[in-house]
Amino acid sequence: MPKLVDASAGAHEAGQAVARPADRRPESGTGRAPGAAERITVALVPTAAGHLRQLQERTNMSKTDITNRAITSYGFFEAYLQSGHELLVRNAATGETQLVRFL
């Protein structure tokens, strides 16, 4: 059985430093304590906007929750890829495995 890894622990597992919740120093250059919300404005291309709407309908999650999960997931994948790992997906029904590459 494959090893299960918590995506929120991805950077740590890949050997990168992870900020601890108890660390209340301001984030570098922001003056905000970690955990303080940061607001951003993003211009989505039509395809991405459509995918966001589909995800909202499928998951009943807010745009904010989907965006936070997307950023966390990308950080997880990127940390592993940078440390020499490959990303594979396997179809549970057929056993077919495919290599995933981010371009």
Q: The pTM is what?
A: 0.65
**Domain definitions of the chain by residue range:** 39-103
Residues belonging to the chain: 103
Tell me what pLDDT residue 7 has. Answer: 66
Torsion of CA 24, 30, 35, 41, to 10 degrees: 180
pLDDT tens, residue order, the chain (103 aa): 566 666 665 444 545 444 334 445 566 666 767 778 899 999 999 999 999 999 999 999 999 999 999 999 999 999 999 999 999 999 999 999 999 998 8
Q: Which residues pair with 88 in a beta bridge?
A: 99
CA-wise closest residue to 79 among 55, 51, 102, 52: 102
List pLDDT tens digits, range 57-86: 999 999 999 999 999 999 999 999 999 999
Amino acid at 33: A
Distance CA 89, CA 41 (A): 32
Tell me what pLDDT residue 22 has. Answer: 44
Does residue 6 contact residue 76 with C-beta atoms inside 8 Å?
Answer: no
